[in-house]
Amino acid sequence: MVDERTAAEQAGNYPPRRSTMVRRCTTPIIGEPDEWLFDQVVGDLIALLNKPGLTRDDLFATFRDTAGAYVVPSLTNSGRGRFFRGPGAKAPQRLLDANPQSWLEIMRVRDIGPDSFYDMFNLMAVRWVHRFGASLPVFLAADGLPLDGVVRGLQSGPGIVSPVGLTVSHGLAYDASGNLIAFPEVGEYVVTNGTVSTRVDVPVATAFTRIGLASSGSIRVFHDPEVVTLTVHPAQATYPAKHKQTQAKYDKSLTVCGTCEKFAFVRQEDLESAPIQTVTTDPDQAGTLVPGLPAGRYVVAGHADTGVVVTSVRDVVVGLGSVREIGLDHGFDLTRLDADPPPKAFLQGNIVQQRQQETRWCGLYSLAHAFSYWAPQRYNPLGDNGQWAGEHIKDGWDSTWLHSFLLYASGGLIPAVVSLFTDDPSPGTLQETMTVGAWRFGFSGQGYVYESLGKDEALTQLKRWIHCGVPVIVTVDELMDQGDGHFSSEHYKVLVGYDDHAHLRYTDDDGIEHLSDGAFYFQNSGGQGETRDDADTLEPQLRENHPDYEHVPIGNEADSYTVFWEKWKTGGIPTFSDSHWCLPVYPLDFVKAYAPNPDWQDPV
């Protein structure tokens, strides 16, 4: 490989050699260095950087919208790389002004170091995959290296009309016409080597699906060094809903609830099936192999030395003699906002449940839930939890002034404003506080109002966010039978999945059972809406009083589409908040969002 660097660059060994960057960028994707893959993705990157009319804001948005959706992300940008420090960074404009024509010219731009190039490459690789489908299969040997010169078959799956014969080269699969093959949609596929077949699940926001066949089933798990133990649990079809859980609740000292007035949590491991394997990790290794697994569907959980599950990956399908490689990091892919969402999608892992207890901090607990999905080493029940959020994220002085004015002007007739003098200045927490709070801690702070879209399109927009791999905070009115304009039952909770094919039943006043099609699933920190016992006052189509609501596939609560729509459209409080409001939460400033002990933060 010819060294394209200048003599001065070679003497200083900066930028790194091309061979170094090929290895760094492509090995995490397919298991070994690959110049062809490097050139394909870099070609797309250069074309993007030289696109007429591209602005620095466009560039930052482009490399934000697929962040984390690859194996072994580099999120801290240590060393020379500063591109992802935040929207105010100057490196993007320097990069545009340079009009680079090669990988080396990109690296020569000030503050575009190896980490920034690595991040841009991997994020561009996600967009490159979208030329071919939803996720690119990478076929591996048992040792994790890519297969080459072998034949595989794609038997069935979403969008597969008939079996497709595949020739594998450097881990990537091609059909008989030489076209690169990707899984076209999110869902479950069957692949074969001619004698052994295995199921492969393609979850949301997964650009590369690493699979292999071997003598026995195994999972190779990539994880943070803080993860000291991995457990593998047989996946359950459902979990008990919040109002049906009998599991012990713990306080932030990891003791069974004693002082739990403001906070409690249910351990995720208590909700899972008993583990069939427990593996101690090596802190010097980025990945750990869990061998000898029988065919089945599994949940993989990572445990920090604090004793709490820091993340969980659901529904890892291991076939007879299959090898799966997964990461415990969660990715998102906002380019999927332009696509039609599949009939069913769940986030890649459950969120450890936190309870707001007697506080009015549902909004702040919802933020803590969403934050913990992305950065569980920092935001978890024993760290920066919901109680911490309630004590650090506050409504601004102007909002507090508005509350006081309305209390005075209404002659005390707005009862929710009285909560100004308790834990939380609100009727709940203001939507503005939610967006500012998310932004201040490094996450997206853009709320959306879908009131003008109509029911079907508005619900589809929420589904698109889940398809992108993004948890969504929504404002609902849990007692929507009271009509618009009241202040007693507004509530925030986190949307984590949906299923168009779910069937939830309810019973009307005459004892007749009815059926609602489609369900949203939520992580609910508390409040109302867990059961519906007001059969004499609630309209039948708004009821949730059936055993169908007692179990959920993810989260801890379900709403039928019909019921959720009614809750959502009456969830806003005039003057204070919008109805049909939502806040998708994903990291923007990775240093702020992921720093375990940040010294930059100020109380909001």
Domain match, 445 and 392 both? yes
* pLDDT given for residue 600 in this prediction: 40
**Average pLDDT, integer, range 97-108:** 93
pLDDT at 538 over 80: no
**273 within domain boundaries:** no
- Give the model's confidence band at 477: pLDDT under 50 very low, under 70 low, under 90 confident, else very high: confident
Domain match, 436 and 376 both? yes
* pLDDT given for residue 519 in this prediction: 97
Last residue of a domain, one of 193, 213, 233: 213
**Average pLDDT, integer, range 189-195:** 88
**78 within domain boundaries:** yes
- Alpha-carbon 500 to chain mean position: 20
**Average pLDDT, integer, range 191-205:** 85
**112 within domain boundaries:** yes
- Give the model's confidence band at 599: pLDDT under 50 very low, under 70 low, under 90 confident, else very high: very low
pLDDT at 152 over 50: yes
pLDDT at 420 over 70: no
Task: Characterize 125-159 residue by residue with b for buried, 16 or more Cβ atoms within 10 angstroms of its Cβ, and e for exposed.
Answer: bbbbbbeebbbbbbbbbbeeebbeeeebbbbbbee
**Average pLDDT, integer, range 299-311:** 85
Domain match, 468 and 573 both? yes
pLDDT at 408 over 50: no
Question: Which has the closest alpha carbon to 105: 1, 6, 2?
Answer: 6
**Average pLDDT, integer, range 4-33:** 89
What percentage of the chain exceeds 70 in pLDDT? Answer: 84
Domain match, 446 and 547 both? yes
Length of the chain: 604
**Average pLDDT, integer, range 155-171:** 94
**326 within domain boundaries:** no
pLDDT digits over 164-191, tens only? 999 999 999 999 999 999 999 988 999 9
The H or E element that residue 578 is part of is none
At 220, the amino acid letter reads: R
Which residues have a Cβ under 8 Å from the Cβ of 508 and sit 6 or more positions away?
514, 540, 543
Domain match, 367 and 451 both? yes
Domain match, 80 and 189 both? no
**Average pLDDT, integer, range 35-40:** 95
- Give the model's confidence band at 295: pLDDT under 50 very low, under 70 low, under 90 confident, else very high: confident
> Under a CB-based contact definition with an 8 Å cutoff, are residues 183 and 209 in contact?
yes
pLDDT at 13 over 60: yes
Domain match, 451 and 428 both? yes
**464 within domain boundaries:** yes
Give the CATH number, domain containing residue 200: 2.60.40
pLDDT at 604 over 70: no
Residue range(s) defining the domain that contains residue 555: 357-589
Which residues have a Cβ under 8 Å from the Cβ of 139 and sit 6 or more positions away?
146, 147, 150, 152, 168, 171, 172, 173, 211, 212
* Dist CA 514 CA 546 (whole Å): 10
* pLDDT given for residue 368 in this prediction: 96
**311 within domain boundaries:** no
Q: Which of 244-248, 352-356, 416-420, 507-511 has the lowest mean pLDDT?
A: 416-420
Antiparallel, parallel or unpaired: β 217-222 and 239-240: unpaired
- Give the model's confidence band at 529: pLDDT under 50 very low, under 70 low, under 90 confident, else very high: low
pLDDT at 332 over 60: yes
Q: Which of 90-94, 191-195, 524-528 has the highest mean pLDDT?
A: 191-195
> Under a CB-based contact definition with an 8 Å cutoff, are residues 526 and 482 in contact?
no
Last residue of a domain, one of 129, 154, 173: 129
Other beta carbons less than 10 A from residue 215's beta carbon: 10
pLDDT at 537 over 70: no
Q: Which of 322-326, 386-390, 600-604 has the highest mean pLDDT?
A: 386-390
- Give the model's confidence band at 12: pLDDT under 50 very low, under 70 low, under 90 confident, else very high: confident
Q: Which of 57-66, 76-85, 125-134, 232-241 has the lowest mean pLDDT?
A: 76-85
Last residue of a domain, one of 129, 157, 175: 129
Domain match, 203 and 111 both? no
Domain match, 391 and 526 both? yes
**345 within domain boundaries:** no
**394 within domain boundaries:** yes
* Dist CA 302 CA 349 (whole Å): 11
pLDDT at 417 over 50: no
Q: Which of 271-280, 304-313, 352-361, 483-492 has the lowest mean pLDDT?
A: 483-492
**Average pLDDT, integer, range 401-429:** 44
- Give the model's confidence band at 2: pLDDT under 50 very low, under 70 low, under 90 confident, else very high: confident
The phi-psi region of residue 313 (left if phi > 0; otherwise alpha if psi is between -120 and 50; otherwise beta) is: beta
Domain match, 179 and 80 both? no
Domain match, 401 and 549 both? yes
What domain count does the chain have? 3
* Dist CA 588 CA 441 (whole Å): 9
Burial class (CB in 10 A: 0-12, 13-18, 19+), 597: exposed
Question: Which pTM was predicted?
Answer: 0.86
Domain match, 372 and 482 both? yes
> What Rg value do the Cα atoms of the chain yield, rounded?
25
pLDDT digits over 257-281, tens only? 977 888 999 999 999 999 999 999 9
* pLDDT given for residue 84 in this prediction: 52
* pLDDT given for residue 412 in this prediction: 45
**Average pLDDT, integer, range 2-12:** 88
